[in-house]
Chain A
Amino acid sequence: MSATFLGIPPFPEAARAAVNDSRLRHNLRKATHTIRDKRGAVVTELEEDWERLRSEGAAIKSHTLRHLDHYLEQLEAAVERAGGHVHWAADAAEANAIVTRLVRETGETDVVKVKSMATQEIELNDALAEAGITAYETDLAELIVQLGDDLPSHILVPAIHLGRSQIREIFLDQMAEWGVAAPEGLTDDPRALAEAARVHLRERFLRTRTAISGANFAVADSGTLVVLESEGNGRMCLTLPETLISVVGIEKIVPTWADLEVFLQTLPRSSTGERMNPYTSTWTGVTPGDGPQEFHLVLLDNGRTDVLADTVGRQALRCIRCSACLNTCPVYERTGGHAYGSVYPGPIGAILTPQLRGMSSEVDEALPYASSLCGACYEVCPVAIDIPEVLVHLREEVASGPGHLGEKAVMKGAEAVLGSSHALAAAQRAAGAARNLVPRHLPGMAGAWTDTRDLPGVPAESFRQWWNKHEKGQS
């Protein structure tokens, strides 16, 4: 029913196609630079306090992860005390089965959805469709992606790859099939397009009695769930229906209500470059007479405990999905999100996806290499995830796995030469003598390396040779 990341080729191949798409590159450059500049301004405004908030955010998240079993049980007890129901899902199939059962119990066949990475990760909409339940995405960009039978390409602005005229066409072609049709004479003015979405979805919000969301944070001590958004579609879904089902990754926990002091400052500034996002909703279980009277929390593992078990890779679970690393990454800026073959694109996706999926495919094995290791992602991360460190760690894992025989043989040879000063001197003399014979593109197996790089020039003599000559000349 909907598009899937399955079958997207490994990063180098997908990236080559993306880089050749000049319209995509134009859209991406404009978008990433705009958000990047806005972020820079509101982060600078907090001066030295920004670094303190950043390290405190990292410390809170690291601490929570190190005692995750404790905080999960505390959260469960608090949510149940407040009148909510808690369900545990070890993997995507279990989570989908739980949500499908819960929706069936309401007797409804339509649900409205708040944008949620977790439900995209488990492909919940497809699972619901198989059970005869239609899930309507209500975030504007997610709506565009759903109507266009497309895939999200950015964590925060999923339709970043599309221009206004493409969006207009999608609305004109598809809205009628999903509900209220686009108005005749719809222009490609963003205001007109947003108004069309408002009218299209308003009927749906007033009528639909079951909603599905994710959450940005789950507070263990109070049992409070938190959703940050801009448009108000989140408030509609979290407030108007009778039943609310929230699918939340087990890493979204923070220990105390007071911890939100940190993240409510760092998340909006890092993601949209705003001092605060327009709307944030928090709810604790159910409130009699206000909002949904049935609340279900589905706690999702789906590979997260595998990430947790890796003491280097664990820090990826600190991620609060702000997408600052995408907007600052020179690789993402040129390839866009689809090339990463996952709902989690960009630098964070390059470390999270292969860990969650267990490097089980060519796509996953290529992802740790989808980076120049420039470190810009680490600089902007509001929870100080050392993405380059994890990338290198994952590359080690890929390299120590089966295959890569040619590379291993070359490295073995290099080890022999670099391990002995005599062997190195002999090799350097030979290389210097043959320097004009070295082609720019290497033949055979090594050609794969020079496909994407220039071979460095070989100097006439090594530094040691030069030093020896000069030392002798002066003495």
Chain B
Amino acid sequence: MSTSRERVLARVRAALADVPADEPVVRPVERPYADSHGMGAALEVLEDRLRDYKALVRRVPADRLAEEVAAALERRGASTVAVPDGIDADWFSRTQAELRPDGRDRPLELRELDGVDGVVTTCAVAIAETGTIVLDGGPDQGRRAITLVPDYHLCVVRADQVVDGVPQGVRRLDPARPLTWISGPSATSDIELNRVEGVHGPRTLEVLLVE
């Protein structure tokens, strides 16, 4: 409604009568704060933070990734697994699990997604200090729903995707993409402040850190 729009804007302008007309609208970017806080080697810090959030973490060499993916799915007992259709097929050369590819053009039905045992993706960036993994919907990360509905999320993080601090992570990301920042499995502290892992999102988050 344009009338409400004009009314609200007029009220805002009237409320700001004290602001000098020549005060610059654009704020100079100074960033007086640190990019990171020197808490240690990025991979070590990331691993520590993820474990603190009760995520499972394994450091794996790049040439053993297919074995490690297979082993993780087997440990979990995951026999059907959703995967984004742009993920590297080689990673699944050793697993017995049945793959259910998902893409924007051919999405899995929600009920089907609810029925799979887990999901495997990569990420866009990981932030060590806060133990955060960010997904940006890229072809190897997929639609937001696939990492949300299944109860187990296996995420492959490459060492070159890891930054130390939040500001560095924000600068690597494109806000035009839908982003999901994940710091450990779903959790709540709503009942007497007791932390309970796992409410609606995946109750188990496993991370393979590829060196």
Residues of A within 8 A of B (CB): 27, 30-31, 34-35, 45-47, 49, 52-53, 55-56, 59-60, 63, 66-70, 72-73, 82, 87-90, 94, 98, 138-141, 144, 157-160, 163-164, 167, 190-191, 193-194, 197-198, 201-202, 205-206, 219, 222, 224, 230-233, 235-236, 238-240, 250, 255, 257-258, 260-262, 264-265, 268, 272, 274-284, 287-291, 299, 301, 305-306, 308-309, 311
Contact = CB atoms under 8 A, between A and B. Distances in A.
A244 B132 CA distance: 26
Interface string B184-205: 1111111111101011111000
Given A231-B201, A261-B167, 10 more contacts: A87-B4, A88-B4, A202-B200, A230-B188, A235-B144, A262-B33, A278-B186, A289-B143, A291-B144, A305-B8
Contacts of A287: 137, 177-178
A338 to B, nearest CB: 17
B66 interface: no
Q: Which of A47, A87, A230, A233 has the most CB of B within 10 A?
A: A230
Contacts of A59: 27
A47 B37 contact: yes
A280 B180 contact: yes
Nearest to B20: A66
A49 B34 contact: yes
A357 to B, nearest CB: 16
A68 B8 CA distance: 11
Q: Which 9 A-B pairs have the closest CB atoms?
A: A289-B104, A232-B201, A232-B200, A309-B15, A280-B181, A276-B130, A305-B11, A231-B199, A308-B15
Interface stretch (B56-64, B72-80, B93-101, B105-113): B105-113
B198 to A, nearest CB: 7
A258 B4 contact: no
Contacts of A68: 12, 16
Interface of B: 1, 4-5, 7-9, 11-16, 18-19, 23, 25-27, 29, 31-34, 37, 49, 53, 103-105, 107, 110-111, 114, 127, 129-132, 137, 143-145, 148-149, 166-167, 170-171, 175-194, 196, 198-202
A258 B202 CA distance: 29
A60 B30 CA distance: 11
Contacts of B107: 289
Nearest to A237: B200
B42 to A, nearest CB: 15
A25 to B, nearest CB: 14
A185 B199 CA distance: 20
B198 A198 contact: yes
B137 to A, nearest CB: 6
A236 B183 contact: no
Nearest to B136: A282
Contacts of B8: 72, 88-90, 250, 299, 301, 305
B192 A230 contact: no
B170 A94 contact: no
Contacts of B1: 87-88, 94, 98
Nearest to A263: B166
Nearest to A240: B145
A299 B6 CA distance: 12
Contact of A157 (B103, B127, B193): B193
Contacts of A159: 190-191
A201 B114 CA distance: 13
B122 to A, nearest CB: 16
A72 B33 CA distance: 27
Q: Which of B145, B170, B192 has the most CB of A within 10 A?
A: B192
Contacts of B31: 56, 261
A232 B132 CA distance: 15
A65 B53 CA distance: 36
B131 to A, nearest CB: 7
A160 B191 CA distance: 7
Nearest to B130: A276
Q: Which of B11, B37, B178 has the most CB of A within 10 A?
A: B178
23 contacts: A31-B192, A56-B31, A69-B9, A89-B8, A163-B192, A190-B194, A190-B196, A194-B191, A194-B196, A197-B199, A198-B199, A231-B200, A232-B202, A235-B148, A250-B8, A264-B181, A279-B186, A281-B178, A287-B178, A291-B145, A305-B8, A308-B12, A311-B18
A66 B19 contact: yes
A268 B187 CA distance: 14
Nearest to A60: B27
A201 to B, nearest CB: 7
Nearest to A234: B200
A30 B191 CA distance: 12
B107 to A, nearest CB: 7
Contacts of A201: 200
Nearest to B182: A279
Contacts of A160: 193
B175 A275 contact: no
Contacts of A30: 192-193
Contacts of A35: 193
A281 B199 contact: no
Contacts of A240: 110, 145, 148-149
A287 B193 CA distance: 36
B37 A46 contact: yes
Contacts of B25: 67, 70
Contacts of B19: 66-67
